[in-house]
Amino acid sequence: MHDKNDVLIIEDSVATTLLLRDFLKKLGYENIKTCDTGRAGIQLFSDLESAGKQPIVLLDFHLPDMNANEIMTGIFNIRPSAKIILETADSKSDEQIKNALRGGAYLYIEKPIRFDNLKNVFETLEKEKDILEEKPSDDLEKIMLHLKSSPRISFARLVEYSELSGDLAKKYLSQLENEKKITKITDMKEVSCIQCDSMRILPNFSCPACNGTNFVQGKLIEHFKCGNVSVENSYKENKCPKCHKEIKILGVDYKIMDNYYICNDCGDKFSDPSHDLLCIKCNNRFPLEKAKWVTSVGYQLSDL
């Protein structure tokens, strides 16, 4: 059994932080760091990573200085394989939550936090780590370990992860099929790096104007009378920050534009961030339209 991971709690509620820390200590997690802002969280994560640690991150979705997507980008730039668990009181249908999950969050837990759910999450992470840290005794066991680590996995990815030749991987997969331990599924089409051909790829989001990652998601309000367009919280007491007139009737005085992004570095406002890809193996960044596409058969463990 391996030592338990460090844990980093990024949460601005003191009460929630104390409850989480005390509960995790009962589960045997001794090395727990806490902070209450996104910037401090990214710095702490960087410090732990530099010390050879791989902390599990518990991240509050709404923080005073940065939102979850921005913090996740900072953490993934330090370690793309980081495990980040979001804490949120928002509905799971909320588009922001979906974007965070698509952006690499491990999963989310709803507030108020049910500690039995949190226990299950950490037990699952421990099992995954056990699988990945097992020392395979032979090549067939290497293949099985990677099959166990994912609900489904492609032939091309198995070849890369196991570092076996295609012919040898086919031999072992055929054997596992005959033993009814695995099942073929439909072909999987995946992206590979244009520089090193690796399939260890993560999405990378940035501001389309300055390419920075310091942006937040929010609502914009356009005041028809003076043409001002700015973030919702700039309209203090329902007054336009440009002309200082009160906005009263939605659709007559003003309109709201949902799900916009605002760059904290250059001030640009945009509906969709720029999107490119990051290769974990060689650190190459490239646009999706230049990516290499690999199609190969998929596999999953059989239900025995």
On whether residue 71 sits in a domain, the answer given is: yes
Local confidence band at 2 (pLDDT 50, 70, 90 cut-offs): low
Q: Are 81 and 51 found together in one domain?
A: yes
pLDDT in tens, 220-275: 889 999 999 888 888 999 999 999 999 999 999 999 887 788 888 888 888 888 88
| Inside any domain, residue 1 | no
Distance (Å, rounded) from C-alpha 84 to C-alpha 9? 10
Q: Verify that 58 and 180 share a domain, yes or no.
A: no
Q: Tell me which residue range forms the domain holding 219.
A: 208-272
Domain with residue 93: its CATH number is 3.40.50.2300
CATH of the domain at 297: 1.10.10
Encode pLDDT of 262-289 as tens digits.
888 888 888 888 888 888 778 788 888 8
Tokens describing residue 84:
């980040």
* Residue 304, pLDDT above cutoff 60: no
Nearest to residue 142, comparing CAs of 125, 164, 126, 127? 164
Domains in the chain, number: 3
At 36-67, the pLDDT tens digits run: 999 999 999 999 988 888 899 999 988 888 88
5-19 pLDDT per residue, tens? 899 999 999 999 999
**Rounded mean pLDDT of the chain?**
86
Domain boundary among 132, 158, 188: 132
Answer yes or no: do 191 and 109 share one domain: no
Same domain, 231 and 178: no
Q: Are 260 and 267 in contact (CB under 8 A)?
A: no
pLDDT higher than threshold 60 for residue 101? yes
| CB-based burial, 71-93: b 16+ in 10 Å, e otherwise | bbbbbbeeebebbbbbbbeeeee
In a domain, 281, yes or no: yes
pLDDT at 62: 84
